[in-house]
Chains A and B, each alone.
Chain A
């Protein structure tokens, strides 16, 4: 039977990281038995954050739960739940349910050429997979494109600074005011793809995309035209969610539910659905 009841979590730490965005560290306040499902969390999966009296909303892990039950998430302030979270302080107890959904296809990433493209907040579901790959060093080639609207909207700044030393990172910004050329490229995620693909010796085996749906679909279409198989391109799809377990109906995509069949889908799967954007 499903369990739809949250476990208490404590806010352990948080810092501002991008406009209206904070990186949070949470700790699950529960026994070992409650912890065990969280220890099986995978990159690209998500959890429901419960602000008692306000509501629940889905977020991805930027760092997966460890043996002490600590995990991290990047949260952008968008409405009531995130407002209430931003008003909480370190030490406060709130709730979480999870982990939910299907994560990134990790088995396809082992010793491969991998391209990762994140737009805006879409870098959040990619952070843990990038860290995992960098830590294991089990890839042939790994490059990351990160796109933001302007300087203020740049997120995961400390993480990107660390990655920068280890792998090629293409930071693209639409409005370059205040930023220097060299470190940043002017433009959009799709605009820079030709240049990035050119740096791959052979074309990437697998591509991971996350960010605004219109950006993801435009990038996927470009990559297919470039010759990459739709089965090798993976997207992370966002939908309104209430239950996160395939019952409430809100996150439908044809006969699938994004919460349980996704949020990651291959482009080949999505081409069969009417994905409206």
Chain B
């Protein structure tokens, strides 16, 4: 049984965590016409409310940096450059994004750069009590409630402005040390399960997603279909950038010269399997020269049974961001609907 506590407000918890951690939270950010929600450092006694909206960007870059140095060459030797972030808390991560972090934890298990960041991060999840727009986390076992092995602490909104705090890991328990908290009652626990089950039942059914996954795994989708979709893909990499489980990268050197010497830093940066040059070899042989092959690759990586043995689940966590960002019609809903109807 997990320890569960009650909080009258989130401030006391954040104040406590802030003594030893930097705190990041999703805050609204409006750039003129449209409002978005982004991860940002918060603090200084001014704690913003937890927003219900899912942020445009998942917290992927906290652990798998958009660009980072790998090593430096000074003319004679190569020195590894590992990141050294301060301990930090991601406060209020949605269940789907937590599942994506869990997925990346497995993928990057042996990656020293990812792990150097990851060991500094404490994950405070939050259960969703209403389905988000285009989300289908419940179909891929990623939400709407936080899974037991994906966070350190979980928040759940109860009635009367109160919150329930669930401790899921030893790191979570350790982080609460020194904070006197009242334990939650069986009624509060009951309320959590009621809320979650109500939320699960309020999701639209999206039967075409399950049908699409099934067809994909039966290999029942024609190459012509993928080719058609490939032609519609602009190769903009919006989906791969926003998808919380996408993790492809490329490397390149950056030279810097000081008065004494020139040094070279090898950096890695996010890449996209949808780019034409992704697999192009120096000889110009390109095993993925067709746009259709590349789009097919993306969707297989998210939904093929072939990847399940390694990760215990599909690559998609149901956040719906690909749909929200694609300027064409290549998000998960559009693609799966078309597969179900006519692939």
A residues engaging B (CB < 8 A)? 1-8, 50, 52-57, 78-79, 81-82, 93, 95, 212-213, 238-240, 242-243, 245, 247-252, 254-255, 275-277
Residue interface bits B252-283, CB-to-A below 8 A is 1, else 0: 11010000000010101001010000111111
Q: Of all chain B residues, which has the CB nearest A248?
A: B249
Q: By the criterion CB–CB under 8 Å, are B279 and A4 in contact? A: no
Known: A6-B71, A53-B253, A242-B249. A252 touches B273 (CB 8 A): yes
B residues less than 8 Å from A275 (CB atoms): 287
Closest chain A residue, CB of each to CB of B246 = A249
Interface pair A55/B281, CB less than 8 Å apart: no
- Which A residues are CB-close (under 8 A) to B279? 239-240, 250-252
**Which residues of chain B from 237 to 251 have a CB within 8 Å of any chain A CB?**
247-251
Q: Are A55 and B280 in contact (CB under 8 A)?
A: no
B248 touches A248 (CB 8 A): yes
Q: Are A249's CB and B112's CB within 8 A?
A: no
Question: Which stretch (B7-15, B22-30, B72-80, B170-178) binds chain A?
Answer: B72-80
Assess whether B111 is in contact with A240, with CB atoms less than 8 Å apart: no
Q: Which residues of A contact B293 (CB under 8 A)?
A: 276
User: How far apart sit A275 and B287, CA to CA, in the bound complex (Å)?
Assistant: 8
Q: Of A93, A240, A243, which one neighbours B281 at CB under 8 angstroms?
A: A240
Q: Which partner residue on chain B sits nearest A7 by CB separation?
A: B78
B288 within 8 A of A: yes
> Once bound together, how far apart are the Cα atoms of A275 and B252, in whole Å?
28
B57 beta carbon closer than 8 Å to chain A: no
- Please determine whether B77 and A242 come into contact, CB atoms closer than 8 angstroms: no
Chain A to chain B contacts (Cβ below 8 Å), 12 pairs = A2-B112, A55-B252, A55-B253, A78-B283, A238-B281, A242-B271, A247-B107, A247-B108, A250-B278, A251-B279, A252-B279, A252-B297
Complex-state Cα separation, A95 to B107, whole angstroms: 27
Contacts of B145 in A (CB 8 A): none
CA distance in complex: A79, B70 (Å): 23
Per DSSP, chain B at the interface is mixed
Chain A residue with Cβ nearest B279: A240
Are A249 and B248 in contact, with the CB atoms below 8 A?
A: yes
Q: Are B278 and A240 in contact (CB under 8 A)?
A: yes
Indicate which residue in B112, B253, B281, B297 contacts A1 across the interface (CB closer than 8 Å).
B112
| Other-chain residue from A78, A95, A247, A255 in contact with B307 (beta carbon distance below 8 A) | A255
- Chain B interfacial positions (CB closer than 8 Å to A): 70-71, 73, 75-80, 107-108, 110-112, 115, 247-253, 255, 264, 266, 268, 271, 273, 278-283, 285, 287-288, 293, 297, 300, 304, 306-307, 310
Query: In the complex, which of the residues B77, B250, B278 contacts A8, with contact meaning CB atoms closer than 8 Å?
Result: B77
CB contact between B288 and one of A6, A54, A276 (< 8 Å): that residue: A276
In the assembly, what is the distance between CA of A6 and CA of B74, in Å?
Answer: 12
Tell me, in angstroms, the Cα distance from A212 to B283 when the chains sit together: 10
Report Cα–Cα, A95/B71, bound state, in Å. Answer: 12
- CB neighbours (8 Å) of B273 from chain A are 249, 252
Chain B residues, CB < 8 A from A243: 249, 251, 268
Instruction: Sort A-B residue pairs by CB-CB distance and give the 3 closest, nearest first.
Output: A249-B248, A78-B282, A255-B306
Question: Are B249's CB and A249's CB within 8 A?
Answer: yes
Contacting pair B78 A8 (CB below 8 A)? yes
Residues of A within 8 A of B79 (CB): 5
A2 touches B110 (CB 8 A): yes
Bound CA–CA A2/B36 (angstroms): 37
Most A CB contacts (10 A, CB to CB) among B73, B108, B255 go to B73
Assembly CA distance A78 to B285 (angstroms): 12
Verify B249–A5 contact, CB threshold 8 A: no
| Contact, CB under 8 Å: B287 / A248 | no
Further 5 A-B residue pairs, CB within 8 A, beyond A242-B249, A275-B287 = A53-B253, A238-B281, A249-B247, A249-B273, A250-B278
Query: Which residue of A4, A57, A276 is within 8 Å of B287 (Cβ)?
Result: A276
Q: Kindly identify which residue among B112, B271, B285 contacts A3, using a CB–CB cutoff of 8 Å.
A: B112
- Roughly how many angstroms separate A271 CA and B281 CA in the complex, as a whole number? 22
B76 touches A8 (CB 8 A): yes
Known interface pairs A248-B271, A276-B293. Does A5 touch B304 (Cβ–Cβ under 8 Å)? no
| Whole-angstrom distance between the Cβ of A256 and the nearest chain B Cβ | 9
Shortest beta-carbon distance, B263 to chain A, in Å?
Answer: 9
For A4, give the chain B residue with the smallest CB separation.
B70
> CA A250 – CA B264 in complex, angstroms?
23
Q: Is the CB of A95 within 8 A of B281?
A: no
Residues of B within 8 A of A3 (CB): 80, 112
A93 to B288, CA, bound (A): 35
Asked if A79 and B80 make an inter-chain contact with CB atoms under 8 angstroms apart, the answer reads no
Give B288 Cβ to nearest chain A Cβ, in Å. 7
Please pick, from B73, B107, B282, B287, the residue contacting A277 in the complex, using a CB distance under 8 A: B287
Determine whether the beta carbon of B112 is less than 8 Å from that of A6: no
Name the A residues within 8 Å of B70 (CB-CB).
Answer: 4-5
- CB <8 Å contact, A52 and B264: yes
- Report whether A95 and B304 are in contact in the complex, using a CB–CB cutoff of 8 Å: no
Beyond A52-B253, A55-B252, whether A95 also contacts B111 by CB under 8 A is: no
Given contacts A6-B71, A8-B76, contact A53 B252 (CB under 8 A): no
**Given that A1-B112, A1-B115, A240-B279 are contacting pairs, would A254 and B306 also be in contact in the complex, using a CB cutoff of 8 Å?**
yes
- Tell me the bound Cα distance from A79 to B277 in angstroms: 15
Q: Is the CB of A249 within 8 A of B271?
A: yes
- A residues in contact with B73, CB < 8 Å: 6, 50, 52-53, 95
Cα–Cα distance between A277 and B287 once the two chains are bound (Å): 6
Q: How far apart are the CA atoms of A95 and B266 in the complex, in Å?
A: 12
Specify which chain A residues have a CB less than 8 angstroms from the CB of B115 in the assembled complex.
1
**B-chain residues with CB within 8 Å of residue A95 when the two chains form the complex:** 73, 78
A247 touches which of B76, B249, B255 (Cβ 8 Å): B249
